[in-house]
Structure 1
Amino acid sequence: MLAGICLLSLGLPAAAQSSDAASIDWRPRAELPPEQQSRLPLYCRGGYVSPQAGEAVAVPGEGEPVNASALSARYEMETRLLLEGDVRLTQAGTALTGERAVYEQASGQVDITGPMTSRSPGMLLAGEQATYNVNSGFFSIDDASFLFHQSEMRGQASSISRPEEQVIRINQGYLTTCAPDRNDWSLVASDIRLNRAEGFGTAKHVRLQVKDVPVFYWPWASFPIDDRRKTGFLYPAFGTSNTGSGMYLSTPYYLNLAPHYDATLTPQYMHGRGLFSEVEGRYLSRFGESILQVGYIDEDEEYRKEFPGESGERWGLDFQSQASFGGGWSGYADYSAVSDNDYLSDLNQTLDISNATQLLRRGGVRYQDDWQMFEAYVAGYQVLTDRNSEPYSQLPEVIYGATVPAGIFELGLESQYTRFDRDNEGLTGLNRAVGQRTRAIPEVALPLRAIWGYTRPSVSLDQTWYNLEDYELGDPDFERTVPVAEWDSGIYLDRKTSLLGSEYNQSLEPRLYYVYSDAEEDQGHIPNFDAGLRSFRFDNLFQPNRFVGGDRVGDANQATVALTSRFNNMATGAETARFSLGQVFYYEDRDVTLNGRGGGTLSESSYAGEAVLRPLDTLDIRVSGLWDPRENVTEEGRSVLAYHSPDYRYLVSAGHTYSRGTNPDNRFEQMDIGGIVPVTDNISLIGRWVFDSQLDNTVGTLAGLEYNNCCWSFQLVQQRYQTDDEEVEHRVVFQVQLKGLGGSGGTGSTLSDAFYGYDQRERRRFGARP
């Protein structure tokens, strides 16, 4: 036996040879394993099969033995070994095959000729001849082709070498992720260097080719070859919209600064406005994550034309942070600000704030364990509309709640201290009032539970103290005390039933809830810091107070009667259907109001109901509404149907929203239909239509098409929508995705907002491939 080489046997056949590495492991769809076929999108013709897929790449170390086999062998003692016919060499997870091999003992070099292959975990190379060093594992292959299984990246080159561990160098070659013999797109370069240890590649004199037509050139480029982060340019985005001044072009640059923080700089040119830049920074500590987003333009030409007296300098900022300190403690911060009221509609591209009229600034700490909760925060707002609608700042607000057992009883406490403040210059009446509010609601309850039902009688005392400033209706220090009694009871009844060939557990859950609140009739002398009327729907039938916030406590002497029935699949336990219906019976008039709303003299409410149906894992139907039995009319209705195929190629939704309102002018009714529907394995149509019955007008449309194959996709979408000021705005957006290289354009956020399930679909479009 020659040193370093172990000749195992003669006459073993080598693996089938091919001039192209990708063709060796490529299999048509019908020949793939069943599990791999089920994960493969319909628009993919096949996939790669490798017995070593998913393993780590092994690099030979000094002293690693080499096993060899061939049809014939000839030794030259202490100098060389010659192997001919079906040659196979294996070392530390690397296998080489060829027709002839010469091993030089002194240098450790093996020269292999004939059609040859080199296979290591996750990588396959093929060529006409190769040089391999058994001591270092470095090699060079001429007239070569390659395949990386994990990324499905393949290509050809005049030569391929491994000059360093985990580094592959491709000379005068190209790469693509398309199927063999189908180069829909490719990157052609004079020198490509793939660093598998760091997960990125670099290339010199690069051109992007579609089919065989060059469409773009870079003198130098860097790109990812797996899902790890890497500093460099991202793909440019561009489009058109009449919300700005036409065309825009952005060139994002990603900065991978450290494992725990990074940033993205996005300079962009907007026609008619100038150079606008956005920066997003992300920081991850052992406590949590923080994100800072900033947008800035030094001289907005379009804004100065519209507002001649204003500066063209504009900016926006958004900061968010979440932290967990351990021991039940956590913290948070959310701060948003813009230079002017029109910034969000004119310029915002990336800030995580919508076209809101009020921007929240809030930060605080929270503690929670099994029986108590504590939170303290400060909050304020930037108002982008009329200052008279400016909400109060909480400087600060402190909340404490606890529930503890006391024998057969349960003791509870909800408490809150808030100082409300805002600029009240020019305001009159109660709108001028600022100051402090302290509220405490102690409760004693008797919870009784059994497998067949429950009952929970309780009494509480809602106490509120005010210490006000700029209060003009009397003594600024006053209090309000409201005793409240509640009794909540329910029964669980169930049976087994069959429906459409499946076994279900059907439950019947009657529920009776009574509340008595001895609130004073006139609370109009109390400022409205944060109160509002609770929406009337099924989930809110079991609340003791018809108002939210702390400045109104409703008078109540009423009982809620409700019934819920559920169908749970016996095999999976999943809830397939739920039906609920309830009504409130009033034994006294409701006198406490807020801005004229919330009172009433009727003895019974409308029926509130909801239905949720999930007959399939891919189909969700939800219906809820209010029905007035006295006038036999529907007061409110909301219905949504959402369907997606198991592979998310189909996305279909339909919705209807209706509100009768107090008069015909307040009526609201909209219908919404949308979907992404494939018409072939590769082409899908995209559409959405929103119609407002009150305006008798279409208020939003979205139409486009999508093309998919296994290595790239294209989306083109035209969007038209009506703004709050009844102006019609439109834009055209598109996106091109090259598998393994990312994409350009920006339909993603538009379609994600328009279609339920779109984000899951995007993850599957390229991520589902094995």
Structure 2
Amino acid sequence: MFFINIWILYPACWAYFFRVTKVTLLGIPVVGGMLSYSNTAFALFSLHPSVRYCPHVQDWKAYQDSPFLVELQEGSYDEKSRVLIVSGPCTLRQGHVKLECSYLLYDQSKNEIFVQNGQLKDSAGDRIFFDKGTLKSTLSTGTLHNVRMLTYLRERITARKIIKFSEEKIRAERISYTPCHACKDRLSEEPLWSLHSTIVEQDQKNSQTEYTDTTLKLKGIPFIQVPYFYLPTRPRSGMLAPYVGGNVGAGFYTGLPYYYRMSAQQDLKVTPFYMQSGGGMIASDYRKRFYQGAVQISGAANLAPKQQTVDHQGFRGYGALDLDSHFSPHWRFFMHEYIVSDRTFFTTRPFFGFTSAPYLESKSGFEGFYPKHWFSFRTLRYQDLSPDDTTEGSCAVTPELKYCYRSGMFSKKITADIEVGTVSLYNKEGTQMQRATMDSALEVHHLTNRGIQIHGSVRLGQALYSAQICPLSVLHQPSPYTSFAMLYIQPEKVSPLLGLPRINTHYYRIFPEAEVTFRYPVMMGCRWIITPELQTVAAPGKINSWRIPNQDSQNVQFHDSNLLAHNRFTGLDRVDDGSRVNYALNVQYQLNCTQNIEAYIGQRWSVTPPALELIPVGIRKGFSDVVGRVSWNSSWAKLLYRFRVHTPKLDSQTHMLGGSIGSKILECSGNYIFISAPPLAINPLYRTLAHQITIQAKTNLFTRNWHLRAFVTQNLKKNRTYELSENIPHSNRPLNQGVGVGYENECFLFDFFLQYSRYRMAEDLRPGISFGISINLKQLGKIQTSKQLFSRKPDKRQSEIPSFPSNCGVETFFPT
């Protein structure tokens, strides 16, 4: 019994060694460093690898003292020499660990065990095979020969010999690794890529693994060779993989990060950068984790040449502070503050992660979470990064207070909701506002015996505003539908010294509303489901006032998805007032087990005039525009068509068709978008807001792994808004077009594309040619180039096109 207990403990040690060796060998920074220095003959790094969780190690520790099972067919034990010999198949089990061998010899006097043709299986799915093994002493040391390992991720590891000198020191000779799957028909074929090392030594005492004579092979051909490098098995100070790339604003750039391990809870990364056109820069990132949360402080300073910046400033940079602290079971404190010197700093520096951010949002505050209550106190600040920024990037909300209560009543058939909040908006160049709101609602859901779904609600909204409205000049071309038309001031009445005067307003609004919705799904056979929907809403009209500035309700949308929604506005400054009736019909048809068709159509009928901001999206007194969708889903095609049509003449207002069709051999995808201004708009020069089509074709016709693709975005608008003065016809050339090629299998991914764009991307990134290369080796990391490679020469036909009006509903079909 003592022998069996000692024997079963040993495989756990060996499996743990293999797991640690594989993880340290396959740390993501390894290949990043090696590939970056592929032209050198020698490289020495001390990197911070990523170690994944090993559940089977915990299983062995949990079951090492548990009962076990030994199965053998033939064996003998000599009591005089104290030798046990098992000459037939032998199986040992303990917990989730299983060891199989064809021959076993145990010399109890010398404490040596000899095994032939062994196979070890663990709970994670890893399998270890070896031809023979010799175990010495208390089974904490030994040697395995001709080792093969297949992990649960289908990775393969081989080694000529593995020696475990002690619990802290292990040595492997002639070890290889590849994540590529073995093909049953071509077992002798070389994998796509593999790593090979002559000697790998792991020292747990010094927490590092040393690699001697390591080679990266592609299809059996040596590609990169590093004579020596080492990796820490635990985080340690040292160099990290460098940044390499290039774009228009920075030119060719490179950065070499240094990681400083201050303690087990905090570290610091400092990265000096050199940019060909952007000058020198240094960036830092400090992190600390404590019992109740974590804090991170990062920033960068760049002494850029003045001619390289849009605003001609010599110093550029950014700063960031992220803090989260759960100081009690129900309360947390957070602080996420960001600031950048100018709008285009992040655009040409992709390594900071804000390349395409339209703005920076900073917020700090407290939050409290309870089963029925939620409290929030926070401050917000926004810095605009868009090319068309006219507010000098400054607006803040401080403070914002919110309280929400939600609870069930009368056996949970009725739900009560209460939300109370206050907010103060400060805008350097625009309108300022202080707001206090309280919304309360009672909702009930009921299902009749015949399957009729009934939803009813009663709401009461109250709001108190105190605002300082900054009116606009007529040069801004105000929309004729805005309720602020009376506030526009003629340019000759504006003082050049004082600017536009602010108008102080105070207003109290109370908004009651009652709503009932009926749905009755009807099944006709086993394929058809027809669901009529009817909603009635009773509410007073003309609730919105010009004394309430519209700051958070400018994104107005009306489509099939929000026909029965409580409010068409995204914020609280505007409410969807007026009594109305919404009706729709949903039809679903199941062709077979893989194909189905769905159609939805609906309309709104307003009893009283709705809010003026709803007119541009097709909602007015009486019948509104008709909205709907048609979708078809199958195993080889997915199509979706959405529309909004003006009644009664059925003028097209919005159309969107998108989806994909085909198989892996040839697949075509794309979308068509058409958005028109409302028929009553007094703007004959700009009738069509958007009209374009995007098509992409991808084929795997030649081989299973290689694919080719081509894509184009074609502008179909025929407006002549800005060319009338110069009598230049509008050009409908493609907005962008390009081609790409890629290769993908289970262990390697390669992608390359070449694109020519004719639209403005940002202030200092003009239309031009861009390309991108991406290489991803499974378990080793990813290398890719920057995509912001545009020329500085703008395209006159595209650079001056204005942005969409805020109330045209274009966000519905261009989701962010």
Alpha-carbon distance in structure 2 between the residues aligned to 1:559 and 1:98: 82
User: Root-mean-square deviation (CA), in Å?
Assistant: 5.3
1:63 and 1:372 map into 2 onto residues whose CA distance is 48
User: How far is 1:545 from its partner?
Assistant: 5.9
Alignment-derived partner of residue 750 in structure 2 = 714
Q: Deviations over 1:1-50 (max 9, x none)?
A: 9x9599xxxxxxxxxxxxxx9xxxxxxxxxxxxxxxxxxxxxxxxxxxxx
- Check 1:531–1:749 CA distance in 2 against 1; reply closer, same or farther (3 A cut): same
CA contact (8 A) 2:120 2:128 kept: yes
What do the CA deviations read for 1:290-309 (whole angstroms, capped 9, x no partner)? 674745254335x6545695
**What does residue 422 of structure 2 align with?**
417
2:623 paired with 1:604: yes
Change (3 A) 1:537 1:363: farther
Which of 645, 664, 675 aligns to 1:659? It is 675
Output the CA distance in 1 between the equivalents of 2:457 and 2:91.
81
Q: Give the SS at the match of 1:349.
A: helix
Instruction: String of CA shifts for 1:461-491, please: whole Å, max 9, x gaps.
Output: 5442427599999994632334444333313
SS of 1:135's equivalent in the other structure is coil
CA shift in 2, pair 1:599/1:126, >3 Å: closer
Q: Is residue 249–residue 277 contact of structure 2 (8 Å, CA) maintained in 1?
A: no
Does the 8 Å contact 1:254/1:263 carry over to 2?
A: yes
Cα distance between partner residues in 1 of 2:287 and 2:632: 40
Which amino acid in the other structure matches residue 304 of structure 2? D
Q: For the Cα contact (< 8 Å) 2:770–2:787, is it kept in 1?
A: no
Q: What is aligned with 2:602?
A: 582
1:474-524 per-residue CA deviation (whole Å, 9 max, x = no partner) reads 99463233444433331323225333xxxx6x2413213234324368x33
Deviates more, 1:89-98 or 1:376-385: 89-98
- Cross-structure match for 2:586: 565
Distance 1:126 1:274, change over 3 A: farther
Q: Is the 1:565–1:579 contact (alpha carbons within 8 Å) kept by the matching residues of 2?
A: yes
Instruction: Tell me the TM-score normalized by structure 1.
Output: 0.70
What is residue 668 of structure 1 aligned with on the other side?
690
Counterpart residue number, 2:128: 124
Matching residue of 1:133: 136
Q: Residues 581 and 609 of structure 1 are in contact (CA less than 8 Å); yes or no, is this contact kept in structure 2?
A: yes
- Who is 1:700 aligned against? 736
Partners of 2:465 and 2:548 within 8 A in 1: no
Q: Pick the aligned partner of 1:393 from 391, 396, 407.
A: 396
Q: Which residue of 2 aligns with 1:191?
A: 199
Q: Distance in 2 between matches of 1:714 and 1:155?
A: 24
What TM-score does the superposition give when structure 2 sets the normalisation length? 0.66
Report the 3-state secondary structure (helix = DSSP H, G, I; strand = E; otherwise coil) of the residue aligned with 1:667.
Answer: strand
8 A Cα contact 1:489 1:511, kept in partner: yes
Aligned to 2:514: 486
Distance 1:396 1:358 in 2: 20
- 1:760 alignment partner in structure 2: none
Instruction: Give the deviation of 1:56 after TM superposition.
Output: 5.5
Structure 1 letter corresponding to 2:215: R
Mark the CA change 1:649 to 1:335 in structure 2 (over 3 Å): closer, same or farther: farther
1:410–1:120 distance in 2 versus 1, CA, 3 Å? closer
AA at the equivalent of 1:419: S
1:219 maps to 2:228 = yes
2:770 is matched with 731
C-alpha change, 1:375 and 1:130, in structure 2 (3 Å) is closer
Deviation at 1:671, TM superposition (A): 1.9
| Structure 1 residue 343, shift from structure 2 partner | 0.5
After TM superposition, give the deviation of residue 159 of structure 1 in Å. Answer: 3.2
- 1:628 is aligned to 646
Task: Give the C-alpha shift of residue 217 in structure 1.
Answer: 1.7
**In the aligned structure 2, how far is the partner of 1:419 from the partner of 1:710?**
54
Q: State the Cα distance separating 1:191 from its structure 2 match.
A: 1.9
AA at the equivalent of 1:742: G
Give me the whole-angstrom Cα distance separating, in 2, the residues matched to 1:571 and 1:198.
63
1:607 CA displacement: 0.8
Structure 2 partner of 1:338: 340
Please name the residue that 2:432 is paired with.
434
The 1:378–1:481 alpha-carbon spacing in structure 2 relative to 1, beyond 3 Å, is same
The aligned residue for residue 531 of structure 2 is: 508
Counterparts of 1:366 and 1:627, CA distance in 2: 44
Q: Is the 8 A contact 2:586 2:601 kept in 1?
A: no
Mapped to 2, the partners of 1:737 and 1:688 lie a distance apart of 23
Structure-2 residue corresponding to 1:31: none
Counterpart residue number, 1:107:
110
SS in 2 for 1:736: strand
2:706 matched to which residue of 1? Answer: 683
Write the distance in 1 (CA, Å) between the matches of 2:550 and 2:778: 56
User: In structure 1, how many angstroms separate the alpha carbons of the residues matched to 2:222 and 2:598?
Assistant: 58
Tell me the alpha carbon deviations over residues 116-152 of structure 1, each in whole angstroms, 9 at most, x when there is no partner.
Answer: 556464453545x65332632522245x343243354
Distance 1:282 1:579 in 2: 52
Looking at structure 1, the residues matched to 739 and 439 of structure 2 have their Cα atoms a distance apart, in angstroms, of 54
Whether contact under 8 Å (2:414, 2:445) holds in the other structure is: no
- CA spacing shift, 1:368–1:358, aligned 2, 3 Å: same
The equivalent of 1:171 in structure 2 is 173
CA contact (8 A) 2:434 2:466 kept: yes
Amino acid at match of 2:518: G
Contact 1:206/1:221, CA 8 A, preserved across alignment: no
C-alpha displacement of 1:626: 0.9
Structure 2: runs of 5+ lacking an equivalent: 6-17, 19-54, 472-499, 718-730, 790-816
User: Would you say the 8 A contact 2:444–2:456 is kept in 1?
Assistant: yes
Aligned with 1:498: secondary structure? coil
Deviations along 1:440-473, one digit per CA (max 9) or x if unpaired, are 3456x68573422326364635442427599999
CA distance in 1, matches of 2:444, 2:67: 72
**SS of the residue 1:397 aligns to:** strand
Amino acid at match of 1:190: T
Q: Flag the 1:205–1:272 CA change in 2: closer, same or farther, 3 A.
A: farther
Letter in structure 1 aligned against 2:535: L
Q: Which has the higher strand share?
A: 1
Partner SS for 1:346 = coil
Q: Deviations over 1:229-286 (max 9, x none)?
A: 99877666645544542x4455667788888777776665544335556556676777
Q: Identity rate of aligned residues, in percent?
A: 14
Q: 1:360 is matched with which residue?
A: 361
